[in-house]
Amino acid sequence: ATHKLLLLPGDGIGTEVMAEVSRLIDWLNQAGVASFETEHGLVGGAAYDADKVAITDATMALAQASDAVIFGAVGGPKWDGVPYDARPEAGLLRLRKDLGLFANLRPAVCYPALADSSSLKRDVVEGLDIMIVRELTGGVYFGEPKTITDLGNGQKRAVDTQVYDTYEIERIGRVAFDLARKRRNKVTSMEKRNVMKTGVLWNEVITAVHDREYKDVQLEHQLADSGGMNLVKWPKQFDVIVTDNLFGDMLSDIAAMLTGSLGMLPSASLGEIDTKTGKRKSMYEPVHGSAPDIAGKGMANPVAMLASFGMALRYSLDMGALADKLDAAIAVVLAKGLRTADIKSEGTTVVSTSQMGEAIVAELQAL
């Protein structure tokens, strides 16, 4: 089967790390390991520069028609002054919303070789392997009204609205519980039910889904603020964390930083499974951003991007075995001491983005 991929490198280091995905795809096609058809599109600042929007309708159509979207990163100071609706992030948000990618999976894994690059003590993070499941198409990101009104007298009023319906919480809960069953069978749900009505409903619905369908999985509730504390204090207490769009944004970034492996962490964003075709829309992107400060220098770490492609192989393209091999190739390259600058340490060899990509593809060929 030929798989249709849409590659959206975006801005900053997005283009550099995506080049390594292209290198990998080229080799897979050439070697006959798999068959990919790729389209390319602009998103974020790059799309704005070309078309004055953060993503065009034509690119959205390509995304809808693809088996998986592979996304780099968007944004940068260059576009600080563009109109709100055309800011780089609007392209990412439109992809998430229009493709219905409600489930964002963000593994936070501490690679043994990198345990020392965490700001946390080695024993706190060594062996860490948690999965943050973030709701991605609801909450304060998309609720209306979302406005700034001029009140006169030099006063303005800004409003954002956080909205959650029962079904939105149910479906993300199921994703979390299903994942937990394949892991260490524990889900921690985080909200602020002591302050937010959406937190009250979140807590109620997650509990109901659990009691009805997932009695075998251990469920625990934490307030998002003390949950954040616990993440910093002793992250190994967690297996799967399920939380809303905004708390998920904060908590997954913190979890990623704990591991010392920010440049290493992939993510998957998944839609609902179509009951007729058994397929779901999906997008894969690194957890890190566009890093304008190091863009264009060949310094970026391509591992998060390549590992995101690996998640696409596993979750969307039914090539789990190849995904395992890719993960192994990454592990071997790290074990050999190759490092991009962000993860360098004593006794390792610092290489460029493309050298890292080349080395991983070479290892994969050898496996």
Ligand X SMILES: CC(C)[C@H](C(=O)O)[C@@H](O)C(=O)O
Strand partners, 270: 103, 282
> Active-site residue 197, yes or no?
no
Contact yes or no for 72/9 (Cβ under 8 A)? yes
Residue 262 CB neighbours (<10 A): 23
CA 329 to chain centre: 21
Residue type, 319: M
**Residue entry with tokens 């943050």:** 132
Contact pick of 100, 143, 292, 298 for a second copy (by CB under 8 A)? 143
Measured torsion, CA atoms of residues 225, 229, 231, 236, in degrees rounded to the nearest 10? -130
Catalytic residue among 51, 178, 253, 324: 253
H or E stretch including 245? helix 245-258
> Active-site residue 253, yes or no?
yes
Is residue 162 near a second copy by the rule CB under 8 A? yes
Residue nearer to a second copy on the CB measure, 33 or 200: 200
Between CA 123 and CA 316 the distance in angstroms is: 35
Taking alpha carbons only, the member of 132, 365, 356 closest to residue 264 is 356
> Active-site residue 141, yes or no?
yes
Minimum distance between the CB of residue 118 and a second copy, rounded to whole angstroms?
Answer: 8
Within 81-100, which residues bind a second copy (CB under 8 A)? Answer: 84, 87, 89, 93
Give the residues lining the site for ligand X (CB under 6 A): 89, 92, 194-195, 225, 249
Residue type, 50: A
**Residue entry with tokens 């964002």:** 104
Catalytic residue among 11, 244, 249, 342: 249
- Interface pattern 240-259 for a second copy (x via CB under 8 A): ------xx-xx--xx-xxx-
Q: Encoding tokens for residue 28?
A: 């897979």
Is residue 163 near a second copy by the rule CB under 8 A? yes
> Active-site residue 225, yes or no?
yes
**Interface contacts to a second copy, rule CB under 8 A:** 75, 84, 87, 89, 93, 119-121, 124, 140-141, 143, 146-148, 151, 154-167, 192, 194-198, 200-202, 224-226, 228-229, 232-234, 246-247, 249-250, 253-254, 256-258, 262, 289
Point out the annotated binding site: 76-89, 96, 106, 134, 225, 249, 253, 289-301
Active site positions, annotated: 141, 192, 225, 249, 253
